Amino acid sequence: MTKLLILIVVVLAIVAVAQLARVYELTTRLSGKREEEISPADNRMNATLMWIFLPVYFAFFAWLVWAYGDKLLPVAASAHGADTDALLNFNWVILLAAFIPTNILLFVFAGKYRYSPDRRAHWNPHNNRLELVWTVVPAAVLAVIIIYGLTTWSEITSAPEGEVVEVELYAKQFDWTARYPGADGRLGASDFRLINGSNPLGVVTPEAVAQRVDELNAEIAEVDSIVEHAILPDSKVAELKDRAEVLRRHLARVINLRTVMEQDIKENGPASIYLAGADDIVTKDFYLPVHREAMLRIRSRDVIHSAYIPHMRAQMNAVPGMTTSIKMTPTITTDSMRTHVVKDPEFNFVLLCNKICGASHYNMQMDLIVTDDAGFDAWYKEAMKKPFQAPAEDAAEEPVATAMAMTEGD
Amino acid sequence: MGATAHTAHAHEAHHHHEESFVSKYVFSHDHKMISKQFLVTAIIMAWVAVIMSILFRLQLAWPGEGFAFSNFFLGDKWAPGGVLDPNMYLALVTIHGTIMVFFVLTGGLSGTFANLLIPLQVGARDMASGFINMLSYWFFFLSSVVMLASLFVEGGPASSGWTVYPPLSALPQAIPGSGTGMTLWLVSMVLFIASSLMGGLNYVATVLNLRTKGMKMTRLPLTVWALFITAVIGILSFPVLLSAALLLLLDRSLGTSFYLSEIHVAGEALDNMGGSPILFQHLFWFLGHPEVYIVLLPALGITSEIIATNARKPIFGYRAMIGSILAIGFLSFIVWGHHMFVTGMNPFLGSVFVFTTLLIAIPSAVKVFNYITTLWRGNIIFTPAMLFSIGLVATFIAGGLTGIILADSALDINVHDTYFVVAHFHIVMGMSAIFGMFAGIYHWFPKMYGRMMNTKLGYAHFWITFICAFGVFFPMHFIGLAGAPRRYYSYSEFPMFDGVVDLNVLVTVFAIIGALAQVIFTYNFFYSVFRGQKAVQNPWKSNTLEWTTPVEHIHGNWPGSLPVVQRWPYDYSKPGKAEDWVSQITPLDHGEEEH
């Protein structure tokens, strides 16, 4: 019913426009007026509209600034964020200094020099001096912008000095997991082939490798036994054989990894990166201490995600197959944001995904808690007591399962 | 060589009168007909993309609410109860972007105006190869059909954004749109690229070889210069996208690992090792950034021509305008990395891209100042085409300036992939280019169809569209500065955006009004094609060669011999002349300086 109504309204609207145009068409045809002859009244109307548009345009801009200026991101809560905000403000000044006069000239000229048969346009095909001026001036201004911008950029991207808090942020559809190095201060090696329910990040430890080998062996045995004992159509048998093939390939690769690991442990002893993972803290809590430089190591297991913390002015893509990193120093704790800055007891810094990654992309988030040193150390000590806590996987896996179901014929 | 080609064509022209319907309207070799075919296809594709934008704008303004409109178009599968499905939301933004960028603003804009204007404005009988030109359109048509067909497959069309970054675009396990929909998307792009290359080669060959006597490169109208450089950019950059698309097809269907490595998805570790998703981004943006100028330059060229004609003044700084087109064309190839500042790219490389990107602001600024100076002390006639050209300058200023922020890597960190970017590129590339396209349609409609479009409807179309363009895209800057990411189905999961989400309602209302204004245009266009006032030969009193051809289209464009060009195209209001225009074929007076 509503469909029909909408359709009728649309059709009627089109008919109305058509009829109006037809009436206009006929009247102009009667008066012998030609479309290309723009009447003085039309020229005047458009020139006036140009003049009216200019203040309305600026007023709209001013209204947006007035009404929403204080609803944008609050003051930067990181050291480099303060720098980029200053850089941004500097850029705004330059941009407005270009935006306002050029628009004024454009619309004022457009309105002012409307056609008159008594007048001729001024003949000035070029003016080299003028053109040189507006090539050189933008170039000079841009040089300043480039130098200021690149100075800030190189500070942000320089290697950290001194000790840093190292955190791995691990992305998958559609959630984040954090990993801290634990007592030894080193993040252990990881490998995507080890990922399972109890090891969502695939942290490599001799136990994890052994467990995965057992798991794969068990799965292969199960598939083999089905193929052997059950009575199945040929196509199903072929499918299961393929599956066993895939599992065997994985097993071979995990065994390969085991060899590499064992060799490394033999060579490096306790310093081996494969032994550093045992005490890693894998957690759904993301804590950082204030005023200490943090190094975020960012990884993904499936598609590209992006770790974006707007209040910190920090962002870095999470790319499967590689580790990216970004450093930042939080300068405001969650508590003082709540009480002093945004004045909202519910406020939390948030890490969100900012690269299209699938159906629940719009809700892939994790809170970030910034505390003082004491609070951070207390949390860290507590978190270390329960290493390898397996986060609830089910809720997170669900959208993927639905996606699968859809491709297979919903 | 050029001369023999001309005689051959002239000869042909005499024997082409009794053409069948198919060879005249369907598989036509005539550049004017092909231009019309491109335009009408683009208008249809544009409507598909506009309706898509309304569908996702409704969801953004009123998340989770049901709309009969959505259900009408998407059915119970993708909009149960009128509530848009999150996967379909992503599919819609993907296809909206793809259609607008490639089918409307590349195929539609270049295809229409390069085909129409290059032969007419350089004084050629037709394109260098009419047959390849015809193929170019039909590949474009096939490509459009495949793209539209992808909307109807199980799992929906491609949904990984118009940039189709793998692994998302490579893994059907990750998103349903990466199944058949994505395969069709890639097939469609391969066809599109083939079309674009055939067109581009033809445009370049025609400009270089088939200029009529006297048409020196320094006497070419700026439209031709812009379309020529656009074609060169396209020829050099589209093949790279082709290779990117082919490698992605291989990854998807033959198990190669160009873009995939160490992936664990849907509970399974994949076999792929050693590839890099970042490689795709480099290949994609090596086309993707020049693509921005492929879209923009023709619009700027059209505007240069229309502003000069309707201000009754020579375009200010003709040589500087050519220089800036060349500079933009060159620089467009060495800036692609600014799309990738936060991919983990080496920061030093990032610095280089900051530098090259900001350099583009210089020729762009020159163009803006030259447009404004052309208006200064002009004698401005407000045709609808002129209004859209002035509108283009306004959007080019507003959108170009925010580009300076995005090009600054340190600032890009925080606005990358937010609505600030969406606002920026829609204004500078979406609006500017579409305004240029509208300007071109209004201006050359009499040349294309021999009839006039309705001026009053043109005014209504312009002013509503112009106001809505700012109403839609200006507030988006603010949404972006609040940190809101693009391609989010809803913002209700984040209390931090509560302050700005009501702007989404304002944006959607403007978007709907703006879309309705396009009904006026579409009506005006199709009505005028059949019933518009009959055009005169040179309605705008313009200097360029296309207005010396007869109103009724003929094969070979000029009935007799080809015109001989005597002067540059911008002798408007030249002192000492009786009229305020002098056609390019009028010989210089004794002792007259060219300009």
From the CA of B24, how many Å to the nearest CA of chain A? 29
pLDDT higher than 70, residue B593: yes
pLDDT higher than 70, residue B21: yes
Q: Which amino acid is at B470?
A: F
For residue B566, give Cα distances in angstroms to B213, B321, B573. Answer: 9, 21, 17
pLDDT higher than 50, residue B321: yes
Between CA B86 and CA A331 the distance in angstroms is: 37
Torsions phi, psi for B249 (to 5 deg):
-60, -40
From the CA of B87, how many Å to the nearest CA of chain A? 5
Pairing of strands A349-353, A305-309: antiparallel
Among A348, A205, A367, A376, residue whose Cα is nearest residue A280: A205
Count of C-beta atoms within a 10 Å radius of residue B14 = 9
Where residue B313 falls among pLDDT bands split at 50, 70, 90? very high
Residue partners of A378: CB distance under 8 A and separation at least 6: none
User: Average pLDDT over chain A, rounded to whole?
Assistant: 89
Q: From the list A113, A149, A306, which residue is nearest B377 (CB)? A: A113
Q: From the list A36, A46, A139, which residue is nearest B459 (CB)? A: A46
Instruction: Round to the nearest angstrom and report the end-to-end CA distance of chain A.
Output: 27
Helix axes B180-209, B222-253, angle to 10 degrees: 150
Among A368, A367, A364, A365, residue whose Cα is nearest residue A400: A364
B320 and A CB contact within 8 Å: yes
pLDDT of amino acid A3: 60
DSSP, collapsed to helix, strand or coil, labels residue A78 as strand
Token duo for residue B182: 């994505």
Count Cβ atoms within 10 A of the Cβ of residue B592 and give its class: 0-12 exposed, 13-18 middle, 19 or more buried. Answer: middle
Chain A residues in contact with B285 by the CB 8 A cut-off are: none
Q: Work out the average pLDDT over B517-525.
A: 95
Cα-based torsion angle of the residue sequence B428, B430, B435, B441 in order, rounded to the nearest 10 degrees? 140
Instruction: Please say whether the beta carbons of B513 and B468 come within 8 A.
Output: yes
Token duo for residue A148: 């200021």
Q: Work out the average pLDDT over B321-338.
A: 95
* B189-218 tens-digit pLDDT: 999 999 999 999 999 999 999 999 999 999
Among B445, B350, B404, B99, residue whose Cα is nearest residue A96: B404
* B463-490 tens-digit pLDDT: 999 999 999 999 999 999 999 999 999 9
Pairing of strands A365-371, A286-289: parallel
pLDDT of amino acid B25: 80
From the CA of A34, how many Å to the nearest CA of chain B? 8
Q: From the list A46, A81, A135, which residue is nearest B366 (CB)? A: A135
Interface test mutation site (partner B, options A102, A105, A344, max chain B beta carbons within 10 A): A102
Token pair 């991919």 in the structure block, residue: B343
Full strand arrangement of the beta sheet holding A286-289: A286-289, A365-371, A349-353, A305-309, A314-318
Q: What is the DSSP string of A309-378?
A: EGGGTEEEEE-TTS-EEEEE-B-S-HHHIIIIIS--TT--EEEEE-S--STTGGG-EEEEEEE-HHHHHH
B107 secondary structure, DSSP code: I
CB contact under 8 A, B459 and A42: yes
From the CA of A342, how many Å to the nearest CA of chain B? 10
Between CA B572 and CA A157 the distance in angstroms is: 54
CB contact under 8 A, A119 and B379: yes
Bridge partner residues of A300 (DSSP): A171
pLDDT of amino acid A390: 53
CB contact under 8 A, A400 and B411: no
Between CA B557 and CA B552 the distance in angstroms is: 9
CB contact under 8 A, B375 and A60: no
Nearest CA in chain A to B403: A95
DSSP3 helix / strand / coil % (chain B, rounded to 5)? 65, 0, 30
DSSP, collapsed to helix, strand or coil, labels residue B56 as helix
**Chain B stretch 192-251, residues whose beta carbon is closer than 8 A to a beta carbon of chain A:** none
User: Average pLDDT over chain B, rounded to whole?
Assistant: 93
Chain A residues in contact with B463 by the CB 8 A cut-off are: 49
pLDDT of amino acid A387: 55
pLDDT of amino acid A2: 57
Token pair 């669900």 in the structure block, residue: A398
Enumerate long-range contacts of A2-11, CB under 8 Å, 24 or more apart.
A2/B68, A3/B68, A3/B71, A3/B72, A6/B68, A6/B69, A6/B72
For residue B51, give Cα distances in angstroms to B48, B128, B305, B443, B524. Answer: 5, 38, 32, 26, 19
B51 and A CB contact within 8 Å: no
pLDDT higher than 50, residue B431: yes
CB contact under 8 A, A403 and B174: yes
Count of C-beta atoms within a 10 Å radius of residue B77 = 12
From the CA of B324, how many Å to the nearest CA of chain A? 10
Return the minimum-mean-pLDDT range out of A271-285, A391-405, B164-178, B505-519.
A391-405
Residue partners of A277: CB distance under 8 A and separation at least 6: A187, A188, A189, A190, A203, A204, A205, A208
Q: What is the DSSP string of B20-40?
A: -HIIIIIS---HHHHHHHHHH
Token pair 């464009």 in the structure block, residue: B557
Between CA B280 and CA B310 the distance in angstroms is: 45
Separate counts of helices (H) and strands (E) for chain A: 9, 10
Low-confidence ranges of chain A (pLDDT < 70): 1-4, 6, 387-410
* B558-573 tens-digit pLDDT: 998 999 999 999 999 9
From the CA of B177, how many Å to the nearest CA of chain A? 8
pLDDT of amino acid A12: 82
Among B564, B566, B568, B570, residue whose Cα is nearest residue B589: B566
Between CA B438 and CA B436 the distance in angstroms is: 6
Q: Work out the average pLDDT over B77-88.
A: 94
Full strand arrangement of the beta sheet holding A175-180: A281-283, A175-180, A165-172, A294-300, A324-328
Between CA B321 and CA B229 the distance in angstroms is: 12
Count Cβ atoms within 10 A of the Cβ of residue A122 and give its class: 0-12 exposed, 13-18 middle, 19 or more buried. Answer: middle
Q: What is the DSSP string of B126-159?
A: S-S-HHHHHHHHHHHHHHHHHHHHGGGSTT-S--
Nearest CA in chain B to A106: B372
DSSP3 helix / strand / coil % (chain A, rounded to 5)? 55, 15, 30
Instruction: Please say whether the beta carbons of B124 and B212 come within 8 A.
Output: yes
* CATH code of the domain made up of B2-10+31-259+274-548: 1.20.210.10
A30 and B CB contact within 8 Å: no
Please report the sign of the dihedral spanned by the C-alpha atoms of residue B111, residue B116, residue B117, residue B119: positive
**Chain B stretch 477-496, residues whose beta carbon is closer than 8 A to a beta carbon of chain A:** 477-478, 481-483, 485, 487-491, 493-496
Enumerate long-range contacts of B555-558, CB under 8 Å, 24 or more apart.
B555/B12, B555/B13, B555/B16, B555/B30, B555/B125, B555/B126, B556/B9, B556/B10, B556/B12, B556/B13, B556/B16, B556/B125, B556/B126, B557/B32, B557/B119, B557/B120, B557/B124, B557/B125, B557/B126, B558/B123, B558/B125
pLDDT of amino acid B2: 42
- From the centroid of its chain, how far is CA A280? 27
Chain A residues in contact with B261 by the CB 8 A cut-off are: 320-322
| Chain A / chain B CB contacts < 8 angstroms | 410
Provide the ipTM. Answer: 0.93
Instruction: Round to the nearest angstrom and report the end-to-end CA distance of chain B.
Output: 31
From the CA of A381, how many Å to the nearest CA of chain B? 30
Helix axes B109-122, B222-253, angle to 10 degrees: 140
Q: Which amino acid is at B189?
A: M
